[in-house]
Chain A
Amino acid sequence: MNVFFAGDFLLQKAAVRALADLKANGFTPADITVFSDEPIEFPRNVLYRPSHMSLGVVIGAITFSLLVIGFVYFTQYSYPIVTGGMPIFSFWATGVVFYELTMLGAIVCTFFWFLRESGLPRRGRRLPVPSVEPGIICVRVECTPDQADAARRSLESAGAENVRTIGEAR
């Protein structure tokens, strides 16, 4: 059964120290979560979570764009209707539609990638969430019972205001 420690820090420097310490003790970013009431910018090597959102969105947008071009081509030719001397499928006359729907693809991709990367809405394992006061940075470590001492030491030595054990995983 894994245990969870939460250490509250007032200073970002202290939190960074704790994270470096935890990393040195063999904890991976998957075990560590930092809670705060506003976004904190950590140095890269301390808590590295690679994100492919930009690439994913670009690829999603391009894919959607190709689908849209194909759709418009198919629909215009499935029932060809001559209007005003314009070709049945005109790339430039329908270019705006492609652009807009490419952007829509990018928007929708961004939103769903956000949901994916943030883990919202919460599902699956419900890990315990420490309550965080404004201005506090709370570092939560999930560890096996034999790693518990190392985790607690890392948090305390970095200068945590208090280190507490929080509930079990559900």
Chain B
Amino acid sequence: MATVPETIPYGEVRRDLWRPLSGASSRYLITLLLLSSVAFWGLCAWGYQLYKGIGVAGIHRPVFWGFYLVNFVFWIGISHAGTLISAILRLTDANWRKPVTRAAEAITVFALMIGGMFPIIHLGRAWLFYWLFPYPNSRLLWPNFRSPLLWDVTAISTYLTGSTIYLFLPLIPDIAQLKEHATGWRRRLYGALSLGWTGSDRQWHALERAMKLMAAIILAVAVSVHTVVAWDFSMSIAPMWHSSIFGPYFVVGAIFSGIAALIIVMAIIRKAMHLEQYLTAHHFKNLAKLLLLMSLLWLYFTVAENLTAWYGNEPKEMIVFGSRVRGGFAPYFWVMVFCNFVVPFVLLGIKRLRTIRTAIIASITVIIGMWLERFLIIIPTLSFGRLPAAWGNYAPSWVEISISIATFAGMGVLYMLFAKLFPIVSVWEFEPHVGPED
């Protein structure tokens, strides 16, 4: 089915998609200011933490990893939005993805940038984070490549590089078009970024070939990235962490939360930039169907993980399991199941209820549920270690909460700036088709 924008004249398409780039409404500026303040507050909280010591966070023995690691896994998970939409849908030639790809890829890049900050934020001596990178030094020391944290470093660096290139490449033709119609500093910026793109067939073919290769490579990298993040936990022998299901579980959870984030972002830009004709109910319904599918997959993995733990009845694991399902963490656990499965299943499974609004509601609950899932993976296991003498409870401090909220604000700031500089919907993919038989 042809999506509506292909019947809109090209001049109008370009005007609609370029309109947000010029000028800034007061609503935009106020929102940007608000989000920047929250992000700045988070930065100050981090500065306070660097100054005073990481003890200002609520973590303590035995819960050595808390909110920061939860956020780390959460944001790396969100970054899989682009993977699914851009890579998988591009490889399967699903044309409905076209208005959505750039928004998704932008989410990926910014989520990775934010998520990649957390391994530095959570360090005890964060100013020495560069010791995790291999460089020749007077100590003759190299990092320990056998450590899963080093795997994290390589995986996230690779994914960030790949996503940035994957975002940049299809942006080039749009930037070149923008340059033609821009003035002043914008013209200089676009001129530099467009690399002199002229739209010759050589350039187009090179771009298409590169995009095809990148889609396949990015897909392979994305699957491995979140598997590696999962292996931070499953390579450990802590009870209920040492599980082989973590790799696929995390990848599925990541794509799940990524789609939810994408739906929310799309809803916001659709409203704020008046793109109702470009991001139609058709797009939301397709994404909603994907969200429903991932919800079922998530349920499958959750049941598999918990059933095997319960049936195995290993004493140390059962303590952690009991705390999650019946004990102190039970409220969070069941809220998570409700948010991740019940709400999407009801709202999106029943065809009559599947609308843009319910897709947004389901996505918000999925975001909450997936954050809770990361929390429930990390904290209960650490609270109930193998020796009961060392059990302990965890409560976040204001520093951790501030930084966590600030990351959402920071994401908003980055996204708003991006959408102001570049068209958030890919313009050249809306070109009037000059088909072979015209």
Contacts and interface: CB of A to CB of B under 8 A. Distances in A.
Interface of A: 10-13, 33-42, 47, 49, 51, 53-54, 57, 71-72, 75-76, 78-79, 81, 83, 86, 90, 93-94, 96-97, 99-101, 103-104, 106-108, 110-111, 113-115, 117-122, 129, 132, 134-135, 137
Q: How large is the interface on B (under 10, 10 to 19, 20 to 34, 35 or more residues)?
A: 35 or more
Given A12-B438, A72-B145, A111-B210, A96 B202 contact: no
Given A78-B140, A135-B432, 15 more contacts: A11-B438, A38-B433, A47-B201, A51-B209, A76-B145, A94-B146, A96-B224, A96-B228, A97-B151, A103-B162, A104-B157, A106-B213, A111-B210, A120-B203, A137-B434
A39 B205 CA distance: 7
Contacts of A42: 201
Name, among A35, A81, A96, the residue most crowded by chain B CB atoms within 10 Å (CB to CB). A96
Contacts of A33: 200-202
A107 B214 contact: yes
Interface string B91-133: 0000000000000000000000000000000000000000000
A135 B142 contact: no
Given A53-B209, A110-B217, A137-B434, A120 B196 contact: yes
Contacts of A11: 434, 438
26 contacts: A10-B438, A39-B208, A47-B201, A53-B206, A53-B213, A54-B209, A57-B213, A72-B145, A81-B144, A83-B146, A93-B145, A96-B155, A96-B224, A100-B151, A100-B228, A103-B162, A103-B220, A103-B224, A107-B162, A107-B217, A110-B210, A113-B210, A117-B202, A118-B203, A118-B206, A118-B207
A122 to B, nearest CB: 3
B140 A36 contact: no
A86 B146 contact: yes
Name, among B162, B198, B437, the residue most crowded by chain A CB atoms within 10 Å (CB to CB). B198
Contact of A114 (B162, B206, B438): B206
A79 B140 contact: yes
Interface in B180-231: 195-210, 213-214, 217-218, 220-221, 224-225, 228, 231
Given A12-B438, A37-B431, A110-B217, A104 B161 contact: yes
